[in-house]
């Protein structure tokens, strides 16, 4: 194998059988250790988020939803050996962005992976990265209001939060939401 210092670590999307994402994550983590690939295969993530759903009796409950059913994110250095280990993990059906016949897949862009990691609460957003204005609609991706959308009524850069008008139980309610808990609706 080549020296890991001269190769680039990137994120890749691995396709799995739907419903087997967490099993594939566990299998990949175990194979990484048993096959001595911890210098080439790093994080394995199932993109999930907590949302609030209304139950059949009108009660609110938190549920964990898979953002991309049938897919797992793998941070790795792409070599023939690491590619083989991931591809041949039970439950893995292939890589997204691979064109078959042994071609290596394309990595996920840094912007895409940062958006997913932020949504999951794994990284913090810098204040400078927040590109929203009063009057724009945002999606709340963290906290008690996660899963709701609302219109920005005020931005407080000092407190690093926005005031958002959301519809709760048929009534417009204004709430304060930290910058890290919102995402722009495109």
186 residues of the chain, pLDDT tens digit each? 444 545 789 999 999 998 999 999 999 999 999 999 999 999 999 988 777 777 788 888 887 778 788 999 999 999 999 999 999 999 999 898 877 666 788 898 887 887 788 777 777 655 555 678 899 999 888 777 888 899 999 988 777 788 999 988 788 888 888 887 888 887
Instruction: Give the H/E segment covering residue 135.
Output: none
Task: Give the residue extent of every domain in the chain.
Answer: 4-119, 127-184
- How many residues would you count in the chain? 186
Residues 25, 43: Cα–Cα separation, whole Å = 9
Topology annotation, domain 127-184:
SH3 type barrels. (2.30.30)
> Given 3.30.160.20, 3.40.225.10, 3.30.70.940, 3.30.420.40, which CATH number is that of 4-119?
3.30.70.940
Dmax (CA) of the chain? 61
pTM of the predicted model as reported, rounded to 2 decimal places: 0.65
Burial bucket for residue 166 (CB in 10 Å: 0-12, 13-18, 19+): middle
The tokens describing 52, both together, are: 């609030």
């Amino acid at each position: 194998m080549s020296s890991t210092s001269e190769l680039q670590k990137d994120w890749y999307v691995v396709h799995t059988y739907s419903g087997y994402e967490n099993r594939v994550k566990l299998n990949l983590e175990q194979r990484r250790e048993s096959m001595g690939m911890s210098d080439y295969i790093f994080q394995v993530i199932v993109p999930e988020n907590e949302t609030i759903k209304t139950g059949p009796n009108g009660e609110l409950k938190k549920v964990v939803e898979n953002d991309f059913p049938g897919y797992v994110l793998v941070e790795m250095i792409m070599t023939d050996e690491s590619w083989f280990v991931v591809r041949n993990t039970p439950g893995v059906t292939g890589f997204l962005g691979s064109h078959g016949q042994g071609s290596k897949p394309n990595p996920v862009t840094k912007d895409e992976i940062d958006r997913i990691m932020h949504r999951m609460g794994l990284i913090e957003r810098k204040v400078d990265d927040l590109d929203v204005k009063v009057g724009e609609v945002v999606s709340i991706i963290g906290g008690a209001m996660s899963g709701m959308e609302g219109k920005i009524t005020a931005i407080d850069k000092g407190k690093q939060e926005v005031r958002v008008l959301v519809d709760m139980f048929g009534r417009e309610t204004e709430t304060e939401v930290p910058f890290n808990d919102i995402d722009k609706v495109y």
